[in-house]
């Protein structure tokens, strides 16, 4: 069971907006630790989409955005495209009990 909770799956039609939530606790996201988001296509390494809550690396389209509030964070994808179909993971840090980087369980995005 992951320390960060994500919905197992989300879906949307092309052109629509979808959001993926990532729920932590007072010792992780709620403690102010940064949240990062990754996209993973089958058989490939993850790719960084969002870092430090809401920053996009060079080359990531502005259709992808991140936000954080309290003990949760969200990834929003607008103008959904077939190429967005993938697994998405959030990552943060949990200082309890002994401090470690933690990942969410992952969310499968299906483009209908």
Partner 1 sequence: EVQLVQSGAEILPPGESLKISCKASGYIFTNYWIAWVRQKPGKGLEWVGVIYPGDSETKYSPSFQGQVTVSADNSISTAYLQWSALKASDTAIYYCARPRGGSSWSGIDYWGQGTLVTVSS
- Site residues, partner 1 (CB under 8 A): 2, 33-34, 36, 38, 40, 45-48, 50-52, 57, 87, 89, 91-93, 97-106
- Is omega for the bond preceding 97 within 30 degrees of 0, making it cis? yes
Q: Tell me whether residue 2 or residue 19 sits nearer to partner 1 (CB atom).
A: 2
Tokens of 110: 């299906």
Please state, in angstroms and rounded to a whole number, the distance separating the CA atoms of residues 78 and 66.
12
Query: E-strand spans in 25-85?
Result: 36-40, 47-50, 64-69, 72-77
The smaller minimum CB distance to partner 1, of residues 50 and 86, is found at 50
Least distance (Å) between residue 52 CB and partner 1 = 7
Q: Which is nearer to partner 1, 59 or 82 (CB)?
A: 59
Sorted by sequence, the CB contacts under 8 Å of residue 78 that are 6+ apart come out as 17, 63, 65
Closest CB 100 distance from partner 1, rounded Å? 5
Rounded to the nearest whole angstrom, what is the least distance from the CB of residue 3 to partner 1 in the complex? 10
């Amino acid at each position: 069971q992951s320390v960060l909770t994500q919905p197992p799956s989300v879906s949307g039609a092309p052109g629509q907006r979808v959001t993926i939530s990532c729920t932590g606790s007072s010792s992780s996201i709620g403690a102010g630790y940064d949240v990062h988001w990754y996209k993973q296509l089958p058989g490939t390494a993850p790719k960084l989409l969002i870092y430090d809550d809401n920053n996009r690396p060079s080359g990531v389209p502005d259709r992808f955005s991140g936000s954080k509030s309290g003990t949760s964070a969200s990834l929003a994808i607008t103008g959904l495209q077939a190429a967005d179909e993938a697994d998405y993971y959030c990552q943060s840090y949990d200082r309890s009990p002994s401090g470690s980087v933690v990942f969410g369980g992952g969310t499968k995005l299906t483009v209908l």
